[in-house]
Amino acid sequence: MDVMSSKTRFDRTVSHRQPDRVVIDFGSTSVTGIHVLAVENLRRYYGLEKRPVKVTEPYQMLGEVDQELVDIIGIDTIGAKGKKNSFGFFNHEPLKEFVTPWGQKVLVPEAFRTISNSKGDLLIYPQGDTSARPSARMPQSGYFFDAIIRQQPFQEEELNPQDNLEEYGLVSDDDLEYWKETTQKARATGKAVVASLGGTSLGDIAHIPGIKLIHPKGIRDITEWYMSLVMRPDYVRAIFEQQTERALENYKRLYQVIGDNLDAIYICGTDFGTQESVFCAPEQFDELWLPFYKRINDWIHLHTPWKTFKHSCGAVEPFMSRFIDAGFDIINPVQINAKGMDPVHLKKTYGRDLVFWGGGVDTQKTLPYAAPAQVREEVLRLCDIFAKDGGFVFSSVHNIQANVPVENIVAMIDAVHEFNGETSRGKFSSNEQD
């Protein structure tokens, strides 16, 4: 088979046809990224120029997988990044240097403003507004931020679904121009283009606390939200209904300027699984989520060539058929170490309908704690299972975290190259060269 372009390779893969090699993704989404410290360690290992790494997603402190690493890893995807980040401030240049609590010098947006509290925790502010209450905290020994719950007191009879919709507005003309230019630039790279256009989170607890809002109203406590699924289903349904209406109106306008310059769209990151079970009954999924997911996916498939991407961690095998019924093309991160998530079963049962994006190596045990040889073995085994007849985009099970041994990350990269019949593309570290 002739060597394909990244775009052609991706198109064949998501159409469940065998490509010339496994598609590789790191960095195109907020759930297939690499922590900023791990990025720096990789650059050092490969003997690349020492310079501050750009933080592309400050909530999780994900680092930019720059062009040098893209070439070394052999990445086939590119993320068309949004104008603003999870904290609601402009996420692009001009940038400034910032020294992290673990001593790493990185580049962050100008509105990235923090203070340390009396415990040594790092606090960050919504929209970079230091006159507001901080919306997230990085513990003193941590490597990323956790949301601060700022739930306002409320009276049950006064709850208004509009309060949980404050962050979901219609796109502006400036937003449309931004997405037009951003996706055009991404398409020009020859990579498969992935983007989250926003507005379709539908209960994602990463968004429920409203970390981008100055004064979040409505149900903003994660525990209260989970209780609301049972106690206030009509309230939740009303939120999803209006959120979906706004999202579809936005998609109509966005497609007019984006067109075919997008290949996959990140729809929703709501998690339905734990390590051992599911967060809700499948029947509850059918009532609260499936109708709205289906409306979103049906509109996209009817009007665009985009493939739809659903993220859900955990033991979600009981939901796989429902994800298919809802119209999703792609499931991520394929948490192979959760109950019932046997790779052979998943591929055999659902591989004709779902693209498995992730699942290339376990990020809870194998990648951080095993020996490089064990990492290699697992990558080769999982690629052998998932890659048959296309339908597999290689990435780790969720983001690569800060203190993962760089030798293990390199073993993962080398193993997928080995599976693809390629040799390592990178240089040895300066120590090994010596």
For residue 393, give its domain range.
6-33+152-433
Encode pLDDT of 31-59 as tens digits.
Answer: 999 999 999 999 999 999 999 999 999 99
Nearest CA-CA partner of 279 in 338, 327, 330: 338
* CA-to-CA dists, residue 94 to 90, 108, 328, angstroms: 9, 9, 37
Residue 25 tokens, joined = 């993704």
Is there a domain that residue 314 lies in? yes
Say which CATH number the domain at 281 has. Answer: 3.20.20.210
Query: What's the average model confidence in pLDDT over 14-28?
Result: 98
Query: What's the average model confidence in pLDDT over 258-265?
Result: 98
Q: Which residues are CB-neighbours of 38 under 8 A, at least 6 positions away?
A: 63, 400, 401, 402, 404, 406, 409
Is there a domain that residue 127 lies in? no
Instruction: Give the chain's count of helices (H) and strands (E).
Output: 14, 16
Is there a domain that residue 274 lies in? yes
Nearest CA-CA partner of 265 in 208, 238, 303: 303
Q: Report residue 3's pLDDT band, with 50, 70 and 90 as the boundaries.
A: confident
User: What's the pLDDT at 434?
Assistant: 32
Is there a domain that residue 1 lies in? no
Examine the pLDDT at 165 and tell me if it is beyond 80: yes
Is there a domain that residue 295 lies in? yes
Q: Which residues are CB-neighbours of 201 under 8 A, at least 6 positions away?
A: 207, 243, 268, 269, 270
Is there a domain that residue 245 lies in? yes
Nearest CA-CA partner of 320 in 352, 275, 361, 298: 352
User: What's the pLDDT at 426?
Assistant: 59
Is there a domain that residue 13 lies in? yes
How many domains, in total, are found in the chain?
1
> What 3-state DSSP class applies to 150?
coil
Q: Report residue 428's pLDDT band, with 50, 70 and 90 as the boundaries.
A: very low
Q: Are 300 and 271 in contact (CB under 8 A)?
A: no
Is there a domain that residue 237 lies in? yes
